[in-house]
């Protein structure tokens, strides 16, 4: 698959314990991206973070969290990412999604 230089990066910030259809939301999001033929996706597990509710989630031993921050990153064209986001947005009950320009250097 050829990829144009002017790509787009979608970042979806969710919690590790978020679920959809009884499955981890992050896994469902990546599988849905693959099903839709997007260029690529990665899940990153955070060590610490907070969101809209202003509650700290941390991997520190003394306050071991079962709901660490997770970022799902997906790269493709803006149009394809907008369509993807429209199709999955309802499943994301809490979180944040951002889109930004990505200067794609190579895709191999």
Q: Which two tokens stand for residue 47?
A: 């060590």
How far apart, in whole angstroms, are the C-alpha atoms of residue 12 and residue 99? 9
Domains of the chain: 6-102 (3.30.70.120)
| Residue 48: per-residue pLDDT | 76
Q: Is the dihedral of CA 9, 82, 40, 32 positive or negative?
A: positive
Q: Which two tokens stand for residue 57?
A: 């989630």
Residue 100 burial by Cβ neighbours in a 10 Å radius (0-12, 13-18, 19+): exposed
> How would you write the pLDDT of the chain (108 residues) with one tens digit per residue?
566 678 999 999 999 999 999 999 999 999 999 999 999 999 999 887 777 777 766 666 555 556 789 999 999 999 999 999 999 999 999 999 999 999 998 888
Q: What is the pTM of this model?
A: 0.86
């Amino acid at each position: 698959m050829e990829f144009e230089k002017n790509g787009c990066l979608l970042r979806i910030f969710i919690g590790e314990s978020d679920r959809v259809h009884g499955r981890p939301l992050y896994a469902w999001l990546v599988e849905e991206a693959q099903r839709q033929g997007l260029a690529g996706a990665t899940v990153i597990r955070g060590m610490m973070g907070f969101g809209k509710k202003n509650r700290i989630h941390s991997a520190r031993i003394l306050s071991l969290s079962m709901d660490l921050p997770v970022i799902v990153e997906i790269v493709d064209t803006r149009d394809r990412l907008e369509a993807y986001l429209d199709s999955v947005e309802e499943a994301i009950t809490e979180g944040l999604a951002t889109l930004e320009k990505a200067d794609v250097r190579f895709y191999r």
